[in-house]
Chain A
């Protein structure tokens, strides 16, 4: 049974796709890995891979089934699916068709993998919400910037509400190294990751794919935490209101 890992962040441009492909490459060193680009309207992970064989559609037991494409990254094979394999043009679908795409492909693609990585879209849109019901664990990708943290917290609230455990966070663009003197340079705000979420690795700003430590990733995946960002229940809120009415003034 494969384990489904969603790479999420909330904010766009944090490096989810790069992290997803880097995670796939790291895990593919030891395991059979799949990558499903569910950032449907911004699918671009295929550009970081070498697609060696396109997807196929064949007759299954009840309906048509999809055989995923085969991609390579640094000589490691990854099973891959993305709408960009059909066309790189813009998506003009109606609301609902995005979640239908995720739902139908989850039930139709014949993955033969130990780990399936989902490259999630920014925000908390329908395709992510649909996909999260299939997800075993989420990996957060944040950059050390206040705005990114605000969006990441929204995503953590969603993960909390849907009871999806979190493996930890990659702090991307954590620093850059001066090529001349080797000094570490802080690129954003003077903050780290999201408080309370284990840090898997701090990734420096690099050209191309960062090399991720597969052992650190596996440790995180195998020891996820339950994120509790639940708002007070109706009962708690009612008691709070009653308390404030009596003693708050």
Chain B
């Protein structure tokens, strides 16, 4: 298992915090509910190759790995991925700077939705001095 997969598995275990009965942000949970069934692939690459993980948002609001065809593909370098996760890089800036590459139908609209979601979650994390 690659480091990227390892990190994603860790994130999947943290879902309750974001999507549980007491979500950190109602707006984010509402958007998640609206996107049930969506499938997206995350491609993270470094100098040696890339790791691709495809994730699906199921009816029970759990994100799980899937073999389904993705609606969107999000590609980024491992450094960008780590910087985003560690809070060193703001998703909104990564999006406009082209550090995160999107493919798929209406990808800018979805990216702008994720930008709003990251903005809100980042605000929550900063408020609690977690990043």
For the complex, give the distance between the alpha carbons of A101 and B95 in Å.
Answer: 12
User: Are A100 and B107 in touch, CB under 8 angstroms?
Assistant: yes
User: Are A64 and B95 in touch, CB under 8 angstroms?
Assistant: no
**Dominant SS among interface residues on chain B:** helix
Q: Which residues of B contact A87 (CB under 8 A)?
A: 90, 92-93, 95-97, 115
* Total contacting residues, chain A, CB less than 8 A: 26
Q: Which A residues between 94 and 118 are near B, CB-CB below 8 angstroms? A: 94, 97, 100-101, 104-105, 107-108
Q: Which residues of B contact A58 (CB under 8 A)?
A: 31, 34
Q: Which residues of A contact B105 (CB under 8 A)?
A: 63
For the complex, give the distance between the alpha carbons of A63 and B31 in Å.
Answer: 12
User: Are A92 and B107 in touch, CB under 8 angstroms?
Assistant: no
CB distance from B95 to the nearest CB of A (A): 7
For the complex, give the distance between the alpha carbons of A92 and B92 in Å.
Answer: 12
* Total contacting residues, chain B, CB less than 8 A: 22
Does B106 reach chain A (CB closer than 8 Å)? Answer: yes
Known: A58-B34, A108-B106. A89 touches B113 (CB 8 A): no
Does B26 reach chain A (CB closer than 8 Å)? Answer: no
Q: Which residues of B contact A92 (CB under 8 A)?
A: 96-99
Known: A58-B34, A86-B92, A87-B90. A64 touches B98 (CB 8 A): no
Q: Which residues of B contact A54 (CB under 8 A)?
A: 116
CB distance from B34 to the nearest CB of A (A): 4
User: Are B106 and A64 in touch, CB under 8 angstroms?
Assistant: yes
**Dominant SS among interface residues on chain A:** mixed
Does A247 reach chain B (CB closer than 8 Å)? Answer: no
Instruction: Convert B68-110 into 0s and 1s, putting 1 for each residue whose CB lies closer than 8 angstroms to a CB of A.
Output: 0000000000000000000000101101111101000111111
User: Are A66 and B112 in touch, CB under 8 angstroms?
Assistant: yes
Instruction: Convert A27-48 into 0s and 1s, putting 1 for each residue whose CB lies closer than 8 angstroms to a CB of B.
Output: 0000000000000000000000
Instruction: Convert A209-249 into 0s and 1s, putting 1 for each residue whose CB lies closer than 8 angstroms to a CB of B.
Output: 00000000000000000000000000000000000000000
For the complex, give the distance between the alpha carbons of A91 and B93 in Å.
Answer: 9
For the complex, give the distance between the alpha carbons of A59 and B32 in Å.
Answer: 10
**Which of B92, B98, B113 contacts A57, CB < 8 Å?**
B113
Q: Which residues of A does B touch, CB under 8 Å?
A: 54-59, 63-66, 83, 86-87, 89-94, 97, 100-101, 104-105, 107-108
7 residue pairs A–B, Cβ–Cβ below 8 Å: A64-B106, A64-B113, A66-B112, A87-B92, A91-B96, A93-B98, A101-B108
Q: Which residues of B does A touch, CB under 8 Å?
A: 31, 34-35, 90, 92-93, 95-99, 101, 105-110, 112-113, 115-116
The 4 A-B pairs with the shortest beta carbon distances in the complex, nearest first, are: A92-B98, A59-B34, A57-B113, A92-B97
